[in-house]
């Protein structure tokens, strides 16, 4: 089949390469998604900004390339914001060999962009200085910008009082002993149990780290000097949030990994975004932690297939039957009581050959995703087992699993732990089996739904063994 791995519920380009999401902005009606893009091929190069818009975060309309590379610079990652006069302002990194500077562009409609005459607006004479994130601070009309100094593992903050050519440094953030390189900073204010707090994210070592703390208008100060890993899978990078979203903390990440992004077996296109997620704050043992959920706008597009309540979890497989992923993405939600069961495994079976086990280990406090048998090994670095922390609450655990044609995303423990992984199985026929060795696992509730690839809504069935 010519395009058998193209997802249904995730953004992917109609052609060419994409990586980091850029310029995420909501204009009151449309969600704009720009991205690092090669318009001329499905490998990295000719970095420009693609552009797509959506009203529901599921169905995307492709727009013309927004910012083209030229003979002088490639257009690297950045962000966008809506100005008081209704125009959009984009900030991006102008990249040439040995030098990176920050530049601006303006647009009346999001489609046609004009580069700012005063570019570059920030130039430190450095080879690694990139990924500007525009944002605002409540009760201030000044524009703010966070920019990464990757090899120094530092985020610098700048402000402009209206003169777009002039940006003054206000502060910087770093962490003693940090490793790797820092890229794609994002700063957003989230509602917390005791009032709003700021979340700063940086992409680092193939994933994304989140710090919760205070932004005083000049610089960021974390509540604690260590980060929370936003996702424990291999394919979650360059997370960014939408400016002006109705729900602050709405964002996506690039769903791939630089180790093997060039080897994914897609046809004429490469790269996709994660399912859009909403981030919020919760308290665990007196500490604020970041939680994730699938965006409400996405959940509203689902068709419910069946519910199961108060039954042995091993019955899930028989009721799940066989779902055809060519017809849409599948969402499996479960709340399970582990009781005396040391571990529970949900086996996602793709046809006869490929399997992705998801294992909940209540006693060990871990959740694992194993993609060693998820399809052909597209690269030596692709097979692997990934795990994150898992806390049982009164002996129970909840999770949501989103399965699309080339990905599996697990959100467990109220979204405190997530794992995102690409998979390239040889079949679209998806079935599920549940193993609970050495004990009994009760499913308090299970719901299976689907975002349809086309028209048609199958009837909903409800199974309640307490009835």
- Identify the three-state secondary structure at position 423: coil
Q: Give the angle 445-450-456 at the CA atoms, nearest 5°.
A: 130
Give residue 11's Cα distance to chain centre. Answer: 11
Closest of 79, 110, 111 to residue 92, by C-alpha: 79
Asked if 183 is an active-site residue, the reply is: yes
What CA–CA distance (Å, rounded) separates 454 from 457? 9
With helix as H, strand as E and coil as C, how does 290-304 read?
EEEEECHHHHCCCEE
Asked if 278 is an active-site residue, the reply is: no
Enter the DSSP assignment of 122. Answer: B
Do the beta carbons of residue 50 and residue 77 sit within 8 Å?
no
What phi and psi values does residue 21 have, to the nearest 5 degrees?
A: -70, 140
- Identify the three-state secondary structure at position 261: helix
Do the beta carbons of residue 79 and residue 91 sit within 8 Å?
yes
- List the catalytic residue out of 20, 73, 278, 370: 20
Give residue 402's Cα distance to chain centre. Answer: 13
What CA–CA distance (Å, rounded) separates 155 from 147? 6
* Separation in Å, CA 333 to CA 385, 412, 420: 22, 10, 16
For tokens 């500490």, what's the residue?
287
* Separation in Å, CA 179 to CA 126, 184, 252: 20, 15, 24
What does the DSSP assignment read for 142-155? -EEEEEEEGGGTEE
How many C-alpha atoms does 176 have within 13 Å on its Cβ side? 2
Do the beta carbons of residue 35 and residue 13 sit within 8 Å?
yes
Closest of 11, 29, 31 to residue 20, by C-alpha: 11
- List the catalytic residue out of 42, 183, 361, 413: 183
How many C-alpha atoms does 69 have within 13 Å on its Cβ side? 20
Helices (H) and strands (E) in the chain, counts: 2, 35
What CA–CA distance (Å, rounded) separates 277 from 427? 27
For tokens 């406090």, what's the residue?
365
What CA–CA distance (Å, rounded) separates 79 from 87? 14
Phi-psi region of 205 (alpha: psi -120 to 50; beta: other; left: phi over 0): left
Active site residues: 20, 183
């Amino acid at each position: 089949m010519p395009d058998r791995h193209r997802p249904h519920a995730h953004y992917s380009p109609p052609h060419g390469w994409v990586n980091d999401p850029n310029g995420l902005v909501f204009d009151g009606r449309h969600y704009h998604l720009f991205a690092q893009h090669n318009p001329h091929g499905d490998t990295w190069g000719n970095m420009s900004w693609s552009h797509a818009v959506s009203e529901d975060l599921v169905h995307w309309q492709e727009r013309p390339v927004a910012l083209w590379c030229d003979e002088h610079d490639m257009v690297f990652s950045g962000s966008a914001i809506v100005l008081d006069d209704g125009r959009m302002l984009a900030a991006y990194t102008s990249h040439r060999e040995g030098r990176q500077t920050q530049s601006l562009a303006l647009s009346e409609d999001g489609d046609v962009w004009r580069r700012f005459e005063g570019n570059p607006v920030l130039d430190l004479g450095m080879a690694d200085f990139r990924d500007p994130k525009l944002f605002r601070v409540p009760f201030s009309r000044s524009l703010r910008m966070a920019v990464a100094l990757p090899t120094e593992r530092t985020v610098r903050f700048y402000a402009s009082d209206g003169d777009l050519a002039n940006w003054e440094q206000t502060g910087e953030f770093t962490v003693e002993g940090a490793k790797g390189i820092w890229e794609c900073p994002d700063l957003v204010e989230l509602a917390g149990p005791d009032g709003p707090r700021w979340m700063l994210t940086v992409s680092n070592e193939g994933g994304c780290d989140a710090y919760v703390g205070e932004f005083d208008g000049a610089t960021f100060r974390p509540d604690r000097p260590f980060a929370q890993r936003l996702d424990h899978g291999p394919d979650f990078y360059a997370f960014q949030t939408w400016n002006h979203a109705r729900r602050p903390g709405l964002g996506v990440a690039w769903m791939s990994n630089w180790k093997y992004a060039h080897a994914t077996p897609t046809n004429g296109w490469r790269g996709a975004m994660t399912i859009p997620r909403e981030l919020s704050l919760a308290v665990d043992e007196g500490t604020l932690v970041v939680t994730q959920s699938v965006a409400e706008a996405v959940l509203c597009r689902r068709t419910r297939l069946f519910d199961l309540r108060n039954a042995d979890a091993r019955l899930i497989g028989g009721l799940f039957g066989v779902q055809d992923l060519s017809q849409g993405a599948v969402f499996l939600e479960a709340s399970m009581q582990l009781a005396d069961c040391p571990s529970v495994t949900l086996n996602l079976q793709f046809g006869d050959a490929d399997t992705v086990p998801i294992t909940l280990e209540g006693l060990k406090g871990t959740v694992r995703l194993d993609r060693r048998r998820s399809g052909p090994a597209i690269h030596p670095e692709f097979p692997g087992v990934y795990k994150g922390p898992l806390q049982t609450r009164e002996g129970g655990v909840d999770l949501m699993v989103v399965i699309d044609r080339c990905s599996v995303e697990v959100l467990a423990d109220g979204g405190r732990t997530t794992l995102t992984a690409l998979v390239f199985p040889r079949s679209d026929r998806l079935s599920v089996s549940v193993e609970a060795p050495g004990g009994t696992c009760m499913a308090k509730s299970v719901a299976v739904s689907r975002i349809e690839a086309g028209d048609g809504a199958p009837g909903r069935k409800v199974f309640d063994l307490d009835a």
